[in-house]
Amino acid sequence: MKVQGVYSFNAPVDVVWKTIQSPEVLSHCIPGCETFVSDEKNSYKVTIKLQVASITGKYTGEVKITDDLYPHTYTMTVDGRGQGGTVKASGVFLFKEHGSVTEVTVEGDAQVSGMVARVGQRILGGASKMLMNQFFSCLSQQVEKK
């Protein structure tokens, strides 16, 4: 499934870049994040509890930030496993500054397998968009605090 979105922040690109890569901010803004522990540089072990339709799943896995070219782009990958199945997602974040506004474009793919995929197949697209919007809304609030 394709995931994409464009999000605007009222801050310079360097503030948005630092905020969006901060482990404290990521742990706070990833929907359902219960644990977020640094594994190595730009790699984190996570536990996430998510609900899609009537299915709730708890996933353990990893979030990695790779291919970073400050202040233009980086890739975030998420790989998780749980009783409800697996979640694998990868997104490229592109940063563009327009005056005092920074625009972040995200394009990527997500794959969900197992019970969550079987039961929630029809609503996964809407659910993934909702989760992305929650994540970026939280990030926007964190950027505004800077």
Number of structural domains in the chain: 1
Q: Which two tokens stand for residue 145?
A: 């605090």
* Of 7-21, 42-56, 77-91, the least confident: 42-56
Which residues contact residue 86 at a Cβ distance below 8 angstroms, ignoring those fewer than 6 apart? 59, 79, 80, 111, 112, 113, 114
CATH of the domain at 31: 3.30.530.20
Domain coverage including residue 49:
2-145
- Tell me if 119 sits within 8 A of 27, measured CB to CB: no
**Nearest Cα to Cα of residue 66 among 48, 44, 51:** 44
For residue range 83-111, what is the model confidence (pLDDT) as tens digits?
878 888 999 999 999 999 999 999 999 88
pTM of the model: 0.88
